[in-house]
Each structure stands twice: as C-alpha cells, then as structure tokens.
C-alpha cells in the first residue's frame, strides 16, 4: 500500500528520514496484519460454508438412501402375498398331480372297482350318447376273452331293439370300451384312461374343493 509523504517534513535530515521510514514500515505492518486478519476471516467463512454444504449434501444423501430403502422394503412386502400364493398353488398342484397318478395306477391295476360292471356302464354311457340302431363295442383282446360274452348279453338285454356287437380289437389298449355306430360315423372312446383325461379339469376342481386343498390358495388373499 502506497503512503503519501507529509509535505511539511523536511527532507535531507537523517532523523526525519528514519522517522519517515519507521512510519511507512509501521503502516505496512498494520496493513499486512489487516490483510492477514481479513484472509483468516474469509478462510473461516469458506470453511464454515463448506461444512454447511457438506452437511447438507450428507443429509440429502442420507434422506435419499432412506427413501430408497423404504421403496425397496415396500416392494419386498408387496411381493410376499404373491410369493405365498405361488408357493401354495405349487403345493396344491403337486398334491393334485399325486392324486391323479394314484387314480391312473388304480385304473391300470384295476383296483377298487367292479371291472365287469364298470365295462357295462361305460358301454351303456357311450351308446346312450349316440344315435343309431347298430353299435360295435370294441375291447382289448384280453378283455374280450374274459368279459366279451357277459358284456354282449348285458347290452343286448338293455337295448332289445338295437343291434350290439362286442368285438376284439388289437388297437384298443387300456380299461374300457371304444364304441362306434354300425356305419362308423360316430365313435366314443369311453376307456377309463381317456375319460380321466377329458374329465380331469373338472375333476381336479372337485377334488380340491372336497379335500380342502382349494383353501390353501387363500394364503395370499385370493381364491
């Protein structure tokens, strides 16, 4: 900082020059101290501002993280009922599959039902569904040898005005008859295996309702 030299100070005297130098130095020192003080205050202000900004940034980051955590928690909680329903549905489906497999085994082994009477009912059910006066009831060769005569007698007695022939057919496999009209235009495959396939969608609903399996699907709040 430039200082003006007083006009009345005589120049040339050693003591006056020394005093003038001392005054200039003193002023310079005061200016330096003022500059240092101002700089220190500015630095302190900058530090305080930086701390406030850092705290604000940290606060915003924490709040953002908190909101994100809450959203993640809500998403997880929202999936719980759906996951429980999925698990319950899979368990029910597995049990129904076991039930169906058990039914298939009983049909294959011909356990738990009267075989001759079942064949008669299956043939009668097929004939009652079709129009005509002539019918061919095809059985697997082994079944024809064992049940053919009895079945033919029972059907002819039930349908006295119709022609019913019970025959062996190499293409027939399984438990039950395949019934065709005499002219071959209409056919009803009434074997138990095929009936199970056709009726399973409805049957599985009945089984689920009667055994209480359907209630397992209420875990997630939906039937």
Closest C-alpha among 92, 126, 111 to residue 204:
92
Residue 151 has pLDDT above 90, yes or no: yes
Residue 20 pLDDT exceeds 70: no
More confident residue, 99 or 213: 99
Beta carbons of 121 and 177 less than 8 angstroms apart: no
- Reference 192, options 132, 143, 130; nearest CA is 143
pLDDT score recorded for residue 218 = 47
Residues 22-51 pLDDT 10s:
676 676 677 667 777 777 777 777 777 777
In a domain, 42, yes or no: no
68 in any annotated domain: no
Q: The domain containing residue 122 runs over which residues?
A: 115-191
pLDDT above 90 for 144: yes
- Percent of the chain clearing pLDDT 70 (strictly above): 81
How many domains does the chain divide into?
A: 1
| CATH code of the domain covering residue 172 | 3.30.2320.30
Collect all residues with Cβ–Cβ distance below 8 Å to 105 and sequence separation of at least 6.
111
Q: Residue 23: inside a domain, yes or no?
A: no
Query: What is the mean pLDDT of the segment spanning 50-67?
Result: 78
Establish if 156 belongs to a structural domain: yes
Asked whether the predicted pLDDT for residue 9 surpasses 50, the reply is: no
Q: Is the pLDDT of residue 13 over 70?
A: no
pLDDT above 90 as % of the chain = 44
pLDDT attached to residue 80: 73
């Amino acid at each position: 900082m430039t200082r003006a030299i007083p006009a009345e100070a005589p120049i040339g005297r050693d003591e006056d020059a020394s005093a003038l130098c001392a005054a200039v130095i003193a002023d310079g020192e005061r200016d330096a101290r003022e500059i240092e003080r101002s700089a220190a205050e500015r630095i302190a202000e900058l530090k305080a501002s930086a701390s406030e900004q850092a705290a604000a940034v940290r606060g915003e980051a924490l709040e953002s993280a908190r909101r994100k955590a809450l959203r993640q928690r809500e998403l997880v909680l929202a999936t719980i009922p759906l996951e429980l329903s999925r698990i319950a549905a899979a368990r029910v489906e597995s049990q129904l599959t076991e039930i169906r497999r058990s039914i298939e085994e009983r049909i294959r082994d011909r356990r738990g039902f009267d075989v001759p009477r079942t064949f008669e009912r299956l043939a009668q059910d097929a004939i009652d569904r079709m129009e005509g006066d002539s019918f061919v009831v095809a059985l697997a060769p082994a079944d024809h040898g064992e049940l053919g005569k009895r079945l033919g007698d029972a059907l002819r007695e039930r349908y006295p005005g119709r022609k019913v022939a019970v025959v062996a057919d190499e293409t027939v496999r399984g438990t039950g008859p395949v019934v065709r009209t005499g002219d071959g235009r209409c056919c009803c495959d009434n074997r138990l295996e095929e009936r199970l396939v056709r009726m399973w969608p409805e049957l599985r609903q009945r089984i689920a309702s009667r055994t209480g399996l359907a209630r397992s699907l209420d875990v997630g709040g939906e039937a």
